[in-house]
Amino acid sequence: MKTNDERSRYLSAAERRAEAVAAVVDLAAERNPGSITTTEIAQKMGLTQGALFRHFASKGALMKAVMEWVSGQFSARLEKPAKGAASGLEGMELVFLGHARFVADHPGVPRMIFGELQRGKTSVTRPLVESFLGRYRKLLRGLIERGKEEGALAVDLDVEAAITLFIGMIQGLVMQSLMAGDMGRIRLLAPRIFAIYRRGIERRARR
C-alpha cells in the first residue's frame, strides 16, 4: 500500500493545480495574500519552486486559477441553490447563509478579493474579481425583483440600496470576525443578521 507521500508523487497535473490553488487559499487565511511567495506555496505543497512552475507559468497565472476557483464556488454554492429556491426571499437567504459558510470555511478568500480590488487596472486577476462581483449583484437584483413580483418584498424597495446593504452586512461580519480571530462567529451570527435584514425589506400588511 502506498503512503500519502508516495501517492502525492503520482498526482495528475490537474490535481497538482488544484493542490496549488488550495495552498494559496490556506496561506491567505493566515497572512496578507499580497506577501505570499511562490516559494512558500511550493513548500506548503511539498514541492520545489521549479516543480510548481511546471504547472503555472507565473504567479499571476496561479492567482488567476485561484480566482477562477472562487468563481466556480460562487456558482456551485450560491447561484445554483438560489435559482432553485421556492421564492425570491428564500433565495436571498440561501445566498446570504451560503456566502457566510463559504467565508467561514475559507477566510483567505475575502482577503484576496479585497487585495485584488486595490490593484491597478493592469492586474491579470482584477477583471475576474470585478466580473464575479458583477454576477453577484445581478443575482441579488434578480432575487429582489422576483420577491417584489411575488408580493413578499415592499414594492417601493430601493433595489440598489438593498443590494449594497446585503453585501455590506457580509463584509462587516467578515471584518469583525477576522478582528476577533474567530471565524466561527460568522456561522453563529449570519442567520440572526439576515432575520433583521429580512424584517426591513419585507412587505408590510396594511392596517
Q: Which of 165, 170, 171 shows the shortest CA–CA distance to 201?
A: 165
Q: Which three cell numbers stand for residue 30?
A: 493566515
Helix axes 88-105, 126-149, angle to 10 degrees: 150
Give the predicted TM-score (pTM) of the model: 0.85
Q: Are 71 and 176 in contact (CB under 8 A)?
A: no
CA gap 32, 15 in Å, rounded: 25
Query: What total of structural domains would you count in the chain?
Result: 2
Q: Which of 137, 119, 134 shows the shortest CA–CA distance to 64?
A: 119
88 and 179 both lie in a single domain: yes
Q: What CATH code is carried by the domain that includes residue 173?
A: 1.10.357.10
In tens digits, the chain (207 residues) has pLDDT values of 343 344 455 678 889 999 999 999 999 988 888 889 999 999 999 999 999 999 998 988 999 999 999 888 888 889 989 989 999 999 999 999 999 999 999 988 988 888 877 776 667 788 888 888 899 999 999 999 999 999 999 999 999 999 999 999 999 998 888 888 888 889 999 999 999 999 999 987 544
15 and 117 both lie in a single domain: no
What is the domain extent for residue 28?
A: 1-56
Beta bridge partners of 58: none
CA gap 74, 173 in Å, rounded: 18
Query: Is 131 inside a domain boundary?
Result: yes
112 and 22 both lie in a single domain: no
Q: Are 160 and 55 in contact (CB under 8 A)?
A: no
CA gap 95, 98 in Å, rounded: 5
97 and 108 both lie in a single domain: yes
